[in-house]
Structure formats: C-alpha cells, structure tokens
Structure 1
C-alpha cells in the first residue's frame, strides 16, 4: 500500500490487517474494513468511472451513500456481477474484484469520449424534454 496518501496513526481502522484487491485488473492493497473509494484514493487512483452520456472522466466526489460518480461493478465470480455499487459504501475485503463502468476498451482510453468532443453537434434530446 502506498503510505504517501495515508495519515499514519489516524483513523478508526487497524493498520495491521491489510487486504489485497483488484480494480480494472490491477492489484492494490488496502486496510481491511476500509471503503473501496478510500482504498483507491490511498493508492493514488483518482479516475474511477466515466459519465453515462458523454463518457467524461469521473472521480470520487463525496464520502457517503450520496456519491453520484464512483459507481463500480463488483465481480464475485463469472456468473455473479453486481453493477452500480457505490465505491464509498463498498467495504474492502481480501480478494475483492471491482471494475469501472461506462468505458470501452479501458478507463484511461475510452472510445465513447468522442461524444464529448462532438457534443455541440447533438440536439438536447430527452434529458431536457425538448
């Protein structure tokens, strides 16, 4: 775990229990019982998803259940995947596998981001009831 983004001796979690997890096929370590969002931030990961329509980059905005941006998919096995889980409420455990959403082929290079460049050419659509 990258200690540069954590305050040593602060917080309610026991720093002795570490948990390894993966996000978008990259392995990270965190503190067991922490949230996925804070573990990602502690490891220096700020980009956690893309917006639905224009695929603009999204990061963690808040610290609770009201989080609108950090939605991830939790993978339990090949048959069980849970989409739209808020990273700020997902408890970190050893072996957790999470994937970002609304991106293809990867989070850092998203083909759908071309919609953001071409957005002036699109009409307002049903979002604005025109």
Structure 2
C-alpha cells in the first residue's frame, strides 16, 4: 500500500504488516493496525476532517491527542450503533470501521452553512440570546431552538436502543 503522506520508519505502535480497511464519509481507505483514525486519514491525504461550529470554516487535525478540537467524527455503521462526537485522534483503527464527519451539510467539501462566514460581522458572540427573544411564545422558541441545535454542529445521538448484548462490564477508575 502506497501512502505518500506516511512517514517511513516512524510510529512504533503501528504494525505495518497488518493492513485494515475503513471508510470515512463513504470513501474506502486503508490503514495499518495501531493507527488512529486521524493518522490513517492524514496518511491517505485527507486533511479536511470537519467544520467550525459557528461559521463552518474548514478544519483539520492540529494535535495528536485528546485535546484535538476539530476532528470530531460520528462512528458506527447504522443509527442504532452510532457514537457521536468521537475525537479522530483517539479512535483506534480496526477493520470495517465506518466514520462520518459532523457539522456539515450536504457534504464536507461543500458545506451550505459556510455562507455564515459572509454574515460574520452581523453575528456577534451570543447573538441568539438577544435575537430570538421575540415573539415571547414558547412555541416560537421551540422553532428557533430546533434551528440553532441543527446548526450547532455536534453529532446525532442514537434514537434506537442498542441492539447488541454485552456479557460483561469493564469498570475502570480514572481518579481515586
């Protein structure tokens, strides 16, 4: 497998003898066992992983750990087995992984909501707290709230119960 953006001989935890297949936004890619989703996408030349929350400006990976603010992805093959808001820098690659970018419509390359950038001078911080105060009916706020939540940019929570059965629970203590 040829990946022109991969550093040769680097990455001690990456097993280059074990190739795995995964998909991102409907496109199939290949990576190695031990890669994270972010490192495999970067090695395949995919640099655009998300959009900014407010203005939908293009965003890519800028860090290598849990502090990554831009590469939030939705994991899972279907609506019942989905995991929103996963950081691509922390998702370990496995064969058959399906990931989708978030905060874009209709696609990551062409995001219709990027038009918000043209109206940046008219959209100050916290604009919706003042803008949507009229009319004062709860029904009007429910309409505004649905629009604001849709444009907010986070993933979609599963609406169906988890169909899988689990035999055991792994309980871990982070701080004691």
Alignment TM-score > 0.5, same fold: yes
Q: CA deviation at 1:14?
A: 1.5
Report the equivalent of 1:87: 88
1:63 paired residue number: 64
| Superposition deviation, residue 126 in structure 1 | 5.3
Contact 1:2–1:42 under 8 Å retained in 2: no
Deviations 1:23-53 (A, max 9, x none): 0000000001210000000000000001111
Unaligned ranges ≥5, structure 1 = none
2:140 corresponding residue in structure 1: none
The Cα offsets for residues 61-116 of structure 1, whole Å up to 9 and x where unpaired, read as 10001111110000143312111100000000000000000000000000000001
Q: Where in structure 2 are there 5+ consecutive unaligned residues?
A: 131-176
TM-score (norm. length: structure 1)? 0.91
- What is the aligned residue count? 129
Looking at CA atoms only, which structure, 1 or 2, has the larger radius of gyration?
Answer: 2
Output the aligned Cα RMSD: 1.9
Whole-Å Cα distance in 1 between the matches of residues 125 and 10 of structure 2? 47
Rounded to whole Å, the distance in 2 between the matches of 1:33 and 1:14 is 6
Range with bigger deviation, 56-65 or 4-13: 4-13
- Give the match for residue 153 of structure 2: none
CA–CA separation in structure 2 for the residues paired with 1:56 and 1:10? 31
| Larger strand fraction of residues | 1
